Amino acid sequence: MMKSSLTGEYFDEKDAIRLVNPKQACFYWSNGVKPLSIYPSKDMYSGEPVLVFIFSRSKTKELYEQWMNRGR
């Protein structure tokens, strides 16, 4: 279990997905799934600062499919 730096609540790390695409995170959030946690990090390739959004994989499965099919 991991503790959210955002809410202070615990969540299952096995169900967690990490997103660094703010548009995708905004899509999930605006469709009713709040992030479990958000923290600053650095992009592994460029070293630039990024925000990492942690979401529940099980709660975002349908939204992921919608995200991948957008614009088709």
What are the extents of the domains in the chain? 2-59
CA dihedral 35, 54, 16, 64 (to 10 degrees): 70
Tokens 């992921």 found at: 64
- pLDDT reported for residue 58: 95
- pLDDT reported for residue 54: 96
Residue ranges of the chain whose pLDDT lies below 50:
none
- pLDDT reported for residue 68: 95
Q: Which two tokens stand for residue 72?
A: 């088709």
- pLDDT reported for residue 72: 61
- pLDDT reported for residue 13: 93
21-35 pLDDT, tens digit per residue, is 999 999 999 999 999
